[in-house]
A and B are shown apart, each in its own frame.
Chain A
Amino acid sequence: MTRTAIHVDHIARVEGHGNVRVVIEDGIVKTVEMNVVEPARLFESMVRGRRFEEVPYIASRICGICSASHVVTDLLAIERVFGVEPTDRTRALRDLLVYGSYLQNHATHLFVFAAPDFLGMPSVFPLAETDPELFERALALKALGNELCTKVGGRSVHPITAVVGGFTHEIAAGEYRALADKMDEAREFAIRAVDLFRDFPVPAIETAGDMLAMVEEGAYPVAASRRARFLKAGAEFDADEASERIEEHAVPHSAALFARVRETGRPYFTGALARANASWRHLGQNAKVAAAKAGLRPPEGNPFMNNVAQAVELVDALDRCAALCRRLAEPDAFEGASAPVAFEVQAGRATGFTEAPRGALFHEIALDAEGRVEHASILTPTAQNCENLEADMRILAERLVADGAERDDVQLEIEKLVRAYDPCLSCSVH
């Protein structure tokens, strides 16, 4: 019997700690495991008994890169419990925060994590010498995301200013205009990023499971909707039903709970590719043209295309942020101010929902009459993706083995697939 065991200890260039295990015997792929080996982080336990004001602060520490998304999702859940209606201006600022984390996340993932695979480098740093222009512009795009989050949220990681009912601080009109100009300047490079990732050769595989994304009529929503849709099944639900529609379950080899569609038991993918499939028609003009040129059109089922979808979202986010910033610079463009609106604390249970950079993010929270947490359940994109990732790793390994690929090639392609999912393993264990 010939036995090939691939064991990648502590897979590099992803956020968090994970090992990949693949065992192939006599040309048959036997074992495929994504071991999430994060220490248990116990957030759902730690927030119990804490006052609602502290919860977004605590929950944002689940993840450095999508901290803004965790904060906004938590605020949406708490506001739904209290019956708070934030102003349009506050909603616009929250969109900006989420888009800021898209710019940070996608630029970091595409260039620092994913691109070295395709350029044959161990990290992005050699690029500083081989292609300084690409290196600098990639970092500049990431820096622009940081700047946006800093201007709106108070710092690049773990926002300060976003609170229940509004924002505690806002920048001046001139700063919004300056930000908008920077977004415009960055667009050309983002379009180049789409072309760059389109040109990287990837295996042609079709993802195993369904796809899940936020949807809204006539929009490409990131925080404004409560509707989620399983794209292949065509089933739509309100965020409050998330825990009924999505089944979390424990597997021994992962500290992250895995997730699947409760009704069918199918795994699913969530992230940029699912969003692009769900709302392609509502991408901005520049993003849509870039997507079409790159051959990204729904239904696109190749998980490697998540890289291209993220690049397309960079173009889209830049255009949307430029427009939002220009509107925010106008004194009367939005109804209401962003200063926190008054509210009364009351007991209840609700689920907040946003599209974090890496996919659908749900925070279910139950508060008592004093606004203290009785129960919290957090469902991160990566926790939802792990089971589908394993299924796709199997499909990919079988394809490569059938093609007679060498062990090292199988390993590299599987690592590339893991990175194309843009997992946040530390997030997945919370």
Chain B
Amino acid sequence: MTNANGQRPLRRGPAAAPRVVVAGLASCFGCQLQITNVEAHLVDVLGQIDVRYWQLASSDPMPEEFDVAVVEGAVTTEEAERLVRTLRERARVLVAIGACATTAGIPGMAAAGFIERPRQVYEHVPAACGDMIAPRAVGAVVDVDFEVRSCPIDSLDFVDVLQRALYGSNKAVPTRTMCGDCKRNETECFFGKGTLCLGLVTRAGCGARCVNLGRPCNGCRGLSPDANLESARAACGRYGVPASDFDRALEMFNQTNPVLRGGE
């Protein structure tokens, strides 16, 4: 499967808008809500596409044919895995939105010790739970063409990525870590106060929103490809933050990242 990389404009003829489906897997639905949260632009956005399926917003059933699949949520069942494969086969472009779909996110926390977990919640696991598998990101099952990161996604970020998916663009996706953003924002570094912050290794792009509001980065955008974990652990040591705390904190949004399991 080739990666579209934004270079294949979705046009089915001059008048036909790209047909879009939105599917939700294991998630809080917050990222789908964030799509509706572009209220001021919602009609403009919807005016460019032909939404064929969106269970959250419409009772129309899922069609056989479409151009773009937007997927929210982590894959946590065999049914979800089949659905993702079907979406990939039918869609020309697949967009994964939110931490759950891009890094397995919070659902991914259950991947460690997955076998014992259902019994910690249910005495007998109900059949309605489906055939459970260890949580994984959409990109761990099929090729993903575009990602909208963060938990939850930023509404305008989604519009931006959708534009790229629809019309193509050369825009490069940032891979740097968050720390540079705080320097530019001139915000005080948490490490100076002996407080752990995951901006050290987390992919930039949100503008360091949490840090700007007085909270350390929790890593929801996932590990940056440029992250140097060994160096980050050493930095923690210099500021009196136990490296074990750093490793524990990374489990929140990066549990299923092979790099954390020594798979570098």
Tell me the complex Cα distance, A321–B208, Å: 29
In chain A, positions 160-185 with a C-beta closer than 8 Å to chain B are 160-161, 163, 168-169
Partner of B36, one of A38, A112, A426: A112
A139 and B33 contact, CB distance less than 8 A: no
A42 and B118 contact, CB distance less than 8 A: yes
- Per DSSP, chain A at the interface is loop
Partner of A155, one of B118, B123, B209: B209
* Residue of chain A at shortest CB distance from B31: A64
A157 and B33 contact, CB distance less than 8 A: yes
B36 and A58 contact, CB distance less than 8 A: no
Indicate whether B106 reaches chain A with its CB closer than 8 angstroms. yes
Partner of B152, one of A16, A51, A155: A155
B106 and A426 contact, CB distance less than 8 A: no
A251 and B213 contact, CB distance less than 8 A: no
Indicate whether B91 reaches chain A with its CB closer than 8 angstroms. no
Binds B, one of A123-131, A272-280, A303-311, A341-349: A123-131
In chain A, positions 92-145 with a C-beta closer than 8 Å to chain B are 108, 112, 116, 122-125, 128, 139-140, 142-143
B57 and A13 contact, CB distance less than 8 A: yes
Partner of A123, one of B33, B34, B57: B57
In chain B, positions 113-130 with a C-beta closer than 8 Å to chain A are 117-118, 120-130
Indicate whether B43 reaches chain A with its CB closer than 8 angstroms. yes
Binary interface encoding of chain A residues 229-247 relative to chain B, with 1 for a CB under 8 A from any of its CBs, else 0? 0000000000000000000
Contacts of B30 in A (CB 8 A): 61, 63-65, 67, 157-158
Binary interface encoding of chain A residues 359-392 relative to chain B, with 1 for a CB under 8 A from any of its CBs, else 0? 0000000000000000000000000000000000
Indicate whether A40 reaches chain B with its CB closer than 8 angstroms. yes
A250 and B124 contact, CB distance less than 8 A: yes
A64 and B214 contact, CB distance less than 8 A: no
Indicate whether A255 reaches chain B with its CB closer than 8 angstroms. yes
Partner of B57, one of A42, A58, A62, A124: A124
Tell me the complex Cα distance, A395–B141, Å: 44
Best-buried of B28, B40, B55 by chain A (most CB within 10 Å): B28
Partner of B218, one of A57, A124, A250: A57
Contacts of A54 in B (CB 8 A): 218, 249, 252
B214 and A161 contact, CB distance less than 8 A: yes
B58 and A67 contact, CB distance less than 8 A: no
B109 and A58 contact, CB distance less than 8 A: yes
* Residue of chain B at shortest CB distance from A167: B214
Tell me the complex Cα distance, A95–B256, Å: 36
* Residue of chain B at shortest CB distance from A15: B29
Tell me the complex Cα distance, A51–B70, Å: 34
Contacts of A207 in B (CB 8 A): none
Binary interface encoding of chain B residues 33-47 relative to chain A, with 1 for a CB under 8 A from any of its CBs, else 0? 110110110110010
Tell me the complex Cα distance, A13–B32, Å: 12
Tell me the complex Cα distance, A143–B37, Å: 7
Best-buried of A15, A48, A62 by chain B (most CB within 10 Å): A15
Indicate whether A336 reaches chain B with its CB closer than 8 angstroms. no
Partner of A158, one of B80, B107, B152: B152
In chain A, positions 414-430 with a C-beta closer than 8 Å to chain B are 426-427, 429
Partner of A252, one of B51, B127, B213, B248: B127
Indicate whether A44 reaches chain B with its CB closer than 8 angstroms. yes
Tell me the complex Cα distance, A143–B127, Å: 39
Indicate whether B76 reaches chain A with its CB closer than 8 angstroms. yes
| A-B residue pairs in contact (CB < 8 Å), sample of 19 | A16-B29, A38-B128, A39-B77, A40-B121, A40-B122, A44-B120, A46-B110, A58-B109, A63-B29, A64-B28, A64-B32, A125-B51, A128-B46, A146-B37, A155-B152, A163-B215, A250-B126, A254-B126, A426-B28
Besides the known contacts A39-B80, A63-B28, 6 further A-B residue pairs in the complex with CB atoms under 8 A apart: A13-B55, A39-B77, A40-B125, A112-B36, A158-B152, A169-B213
